Amino acid sequence: MSGKRKGYSVAYKKGIVEESQNKNLTAFCKEKKLDLRLVRKWRAEYDNLSKQVEEGNGKKRKLGSGRQPSFPELEDIIYDFIADRRSRALVVRRADIQAFAIATLPHLDISPQIFKASKGWLDNFFQRYELSLRRTTTLFKLEDVEVIKRTLAFKHFVDSIDFSKYNLSNIIAMDETSVYMGQETKTTVENKGASSIYVSSTGYESARLTCVLAIRLDGTKVPPLIIAKGKRDKIQKVSGMYVLETEKAWCTQAVIRQWVDLILPSILRCSQRGLLVWDSASTHRAKDMKQFLEKKKIDQIMIPAGMTAYLQSLDLVINKPFKHYLRIEVNDYIEHRMERNHRGNFIKPNLTEIVKWVNNSWNKITDNCVANALRAGYLDKKYSFEESYIAKHERFGPRVLKEIHLQEIQSGVRGLMCYDDVPEEDEMMVLE
């Protein structure tokens, strides 16, 4: 019995034909595990394949191939229905599509006995129109106009800073991230029809720790500060990592002050200043914190409120892989090394074990990852703004770049250094 037939895209066929030029075709096909007669056929159709790629049909099979949909007009209407709802940021469920399809049948004189909007049809419809169920990403809490406005203000503000007065090692982007120490997922693979799905509990799913992560503009990583629950209100070094025990394991003003003294201790002893890049959390923008930083000769760039998902370097590139690596460490401990007490209950991991997890996870963040973070957050001046994350954003990027271009034509960006919509305490930098 022959194996399952494979489908090849037009772009793939064209690429194979071009790659096989000036080569022994028999040996080439054997290397690529392709049928010799099939590649010869593609060669004969090369001009047609090139034309289809130029017309934007490179991802599709040859036009007219495969079984055609029975009701193409209906499917076009359904696709327009989906596109309209998504353009208004509305949820579209599979059941919504099936219900709309059934409701549309009378308008096209299609009998419900012929078309039932089955699951199989819906699967094939998704494949034909390159659709899939996607998990929602960042919620847009700001209006589009406000996102663009704050992006331009941030860009203009960063462009106005004289980075030469700072040592690159004294320019630090930081962020706090929390990690829970239980099994994070609530889903698991199980046999169909199982009446109950059980996942063992560690008994400390709500236990968490906070990590203060930071990178320097010279491309180096700052050792993380681990904030855990405890009574020692003083930073100590455990297994080469910095640990601070507090009552609730939160990153308060007091914690930040200790962290600043730890990471930037020598600013007061030199002529240069320090620079912190962080979000507009209440602990960061408090007047006491600004006064403390000014006394320490440390300026700040504050990400505008609601914009961390687009401008915060660590949030864009580093936090997610770090938490992923940390999750692997936690799961490995739960599965292989977690101990039980005399009552059979799991014992919470000690501080040394937690420090080991953080250390291993932070070591897996590469220098290339740090460089990408600085570029994405528009902090590395070797790259233009077009290389930043927000400039490449599929929704906001084109609009931001268009606005920049229009304002450059009008003799540069004006009036964005300070805008009324951002509260006074959200100012992006404390100047000398």
Block residue for tokens 């039932």:
116
Q: Which two tokens stand for residue 231?
A: 């009574």
Give residue 234's pLDDT: 80
Q: Of 368, 367, 369, 356, which is closest to residue 328 (Cα–Cα)? A: 356
> What span, in angstroms and rounded, lies between the C-alpha atoms of 376 and 310?
9
Which CA distances in Å does 134 have to 53, 80, 137, 141?
Answer: 28, 18, 9, 19
Which tokens sit at 89?
């940021």
Give the C-alpha separation, 106 to 111, whole Å: 7
In the prediction, which pLDDT does 261 show? Answer: 87
The pLDDT of residue 416: 45
How much is the pTM? Answer: 0.64
Taken in order of first residue, the domains within the chain and their CATH numbers are 10-54 (no CATH), 72-128 (1.10.10), 144-184+198-426 (3.30.420.10)
> What pLDDT does 271 receive?
67
- Residues 213 and 215: their CA atoms lie apart, in Å, by 7
Angle between helices 287-295 and 253-263 (to 10 degrees): 20
For position 202, what pLDDT does the model report?
Answer: 62
Spell out the per-residue pLDDT of the chain, length 432, in tens: 445 566 788 888 888 998 888 888 888 888 888 888 888 888 888 888 888 888 776 665 554 555 677 888 899 999 999 988 887 778 898 999 999 999 999 998 888 889 988 999 999 899 888 888 887 765 556 788 888 999 999 999 999 998 888 888 889 999 988 877 665 556 676 666 666 766 666 666 666 788 999 999 999 999 999 888 877 778 888 877 888 888 888 888 888 889 988 888 766 566 678 899 999 888 888 888 999 998 888 999 999 988 988 999 999 999 999 988 988 888 888 778 777 777 767 777 788 888 888 999 999 999 999 999 999 999 998 899 999 999 999 888 999 999 888 887 775 545 544 444 444 444 555 444
pLDDT of residue 60: 57
